[in-house]
Amino acid sequence: MSSNRKGDRRERELVNELDEAGFAVMRAPASGSATERDLPDVLAGDGEVFYAIEAKSSSGDPIYLTGEEVEALVYFARNFGAKARIAVRFDREDWYFFHPGDLYTTDGGNYRVKKETALAEGEDFAELVGDSERVTLDDVE
């Protein structure tokens, strides 16, 4: 399966999960190369919180995003009134979400998410949709 088809399937999975969680959600059909405008992959909102999401998936290698991709997401989200999120999914793992400012920046000005980082530091789906909150060792007395 080509990486584009796999990415499309993963985006549809995310859209369906958000829909099942009660969000109005759409996949931006013009994301990627279909338009001159830089649009996020997914838009989702539940009347209280709105997300502009750039979704990336990988078989296990680190996920890289260009500085331009992240800047375009932040710009769109700000103008749309949404929260910008980078969604990453590694094979046989769930989706994890990051605020763009929390991503590792490479020397070349791009962004990287390793699988270990996603599992340890990423916001999981339940946290994103407000079904749970992350509890860290710092929160426990």
Q: Which residues are catalytic?
A: 31
> Rounded to an integer, what distance in angstroms lies between the CA atom of residue 94 and that of residue 88?
8
Neighbouring residues of 55: CB distance < 8 A, sequence distance ≥ 6: 7, 10, 11, 14, 41, 42, 87, 88, 89
Q: Reduced to 3 states, what is the DSSP secondary structure of residue 127?
A: helix
Nearest to 57 by CA among 104, 93, 21: 93
